[in-house]
Amino acid sequence: MYILMILLTMFVLPIASILAEAFLFKSNAGIMFLIGKWFVFWAVGIRLFLAGFRQATDPQFTAEKILGIKGSEPFILVQELGFANLSMGVLGISTIFNGAWTMAAALAGCIFIGLAGIRHIFSKERNRLENSAMVSNLMVSAVLLVYLILR
Amino acid sequence: MFIGICYLVSLMVGVAAVFLQPGPHMLQAVAGTLLRFVLLLGTGIPLVVGGFGHVFQSDMAARRLGWPTGSPFQKELGFWDLAGGVGAMAAFWLGGDFRLAAILINSIFWILAGILHLQHVFRFRNYNADNSIPAVIDILVPVTLLVLYWLAH
């Protein structure tokens, strides 16, 4: 389920949206504009909003089921991280209604997602879930960086 | 404590910058100048410094906050602090929609984080200065940002 959500929100849906707008709806917008628009909406907006909502409302799930950490001590950290993800997710989703916010969301998302990806590189015992998070984080961050440079 | 000092310094530097500008001092322009300095010094700097603390001195930062040490979530939270901080600092120079976006993303996070810190003060009696002071400042900074943005526009 976790890998499916990563695949959908960070690769399949952004690319499908870009192709749909470019070829199905014959958009006149440039390719970099479409890349920024849809990667920010799906990978920064929807992905982080869903993760943040889960972490904020059900910290036990993230702490125990995903990372195997028992007890309620880490809950404050999980919830605060959830609020962080929620705020970035809300901004990412809002860019679909106000395109002028795309650059700010792309900058914040590129730094946050990129650093999270780099952290996974140095993790000594990466499991399959962590590997998929690492690859997807680094790729999305690279896409956002290219958008920020070439837009 | 540091976060509170940054907030006060941002207001003082902002007021100084207003008086260094040639008059007359219209409310809209004053609010705009103050807003830029609260974003740079009162929001961006404490987030970047806090982010570095969470990432590079995780256990020390966790102990000061009364949080559990060794949590993998803390580094990720530090990354968000760095991202949000860089965005807030960039908004000092980049105006318009970028500034509003930086205000929104930081306001949502700070208010929710402030409520969480307040909950830990009252529910779990976590009276550590690094938990209770942010509980107030986390609410005060976004309210200041939003009011100043409203006055400036």
How is residue B125 written in tokens? 């009696």
Query: What confidence category does residue B47 fall into, taking pLDDT thresholds of 50, 70 and 90?
Result: very high
* Residues of B engaging A, defined by a Cβ cutoff of 8 Å: 55, 67-68, 71-77, 79-84, 86-87, 90-91, 96-98, 100-102, 104-106, 108-109, 112-113, 116, 120
How far does CA B115 lie from the centroid of its chain?
Answer: 14
DSSP B68: P
Kindly state the tokens that stand for A129. 């879930």
Q: Please give the residue range of the domain that contains residue A55.
A: 2-150
Please tell me if residue A140 touches chain B, with a CB cutoff of 8 Å: no
What pLDDT, on a 0 to 100 scale, did the predictor assign at position A121? Answer: 86
Closest Cα in chain B, distance from residue A115 (Å) = 6
pLDDT tens for B2-43 read 888 999 999 999 999 998 888 777 888 999 999 999 999 999
3-state helix, strand, coil in chain A (%, to 5): 80, 0, 20
Q: What is the DSSP letter of A101?
A: G
Please give the model's pTM, rounded to 2 decimal places.
0.86
The whole-angstrom separation of Cα A107 and Cα A110 is 5
Average confidence score pLDDT of chain B: 88
Which of A117-121, B91-95, B129-133 comes out lowest in average pLDDT? Answer: B129-133
CA distances to A6, A88, B30, B75 from A125, in Å: 20, 29, 53, 17
* Separation between Cα atoms, residue B82 and residue B45, nearest integer Å: 9
pLDDT of amino acid A59: 85
Q: Are A90 and A49 in contact (CB under 8 A)?
A: yes
Among candidates A85, A20, A94, which has minimal Cα distance to A59? A85
Contacts of A100 (CB under 8 A, 6+ apart): B96, B97, B98, B101
pLDDT at position A120 is 83
Angstrom distance (rounded) from CA B129 to CA A80: 18
Query: What is the rounded CA–CA span in Å between residue B149 and residue B119?
Result: 28
Q: What is the pLDDT of residue B105?
A: 92
pLDDT tens for chain A, 151 residues long, are 778 888 899 999 999 999 999 989 888 888 999 999 999 999 999 999 998 998 899 888 777 766 666 666 667 788 888 999 999 999 999 999 999 999 999 999 999 999 988 988 887 777 777 788 889 999 999 999 999 998 8
- Torsional sign, CA A81, A83, A88, A90: positive
Tell me the DSSP string of B53-73. Answer: HHHHSHHHHHHHHTPPSS-HH
Indicate the SS3 state at residue A88.
helix
Contacts of A98 (CB under 8 A, 6+ apart): B97
**Coil, helix or strand at residue A27:** coil
Question: Cα separation of A102 and A94, whole Å?
Answer: 9
Report A:36-65 residues touching B (Cβ under 8 A): 56, 62-63
Q: Looking at residue A67, what is its pLDDT?
A: 62
The number of domains in chain A is 1
- In 10 A of CB B127, how many CB atoms? 10
A122 vs B: CB within 8 A: no
* CA A113 to the chain's CA centroid: 7
Provide the pLDDT for residue A68.
63
The residue that leads in pLDDT, A28 or B48, is B48
Distance from CA of B93 to the nearest CA of A (A): 13
Predicted pLDDT of residue A61 = 78
Cross-chain residue pair A74–B71, CB shorter than 8 Å: yes
Whether A145 contacts chain B with CB within 8 A: no
Q: How far apart are CA B129 and CA B133, in angstroms?
A: 6
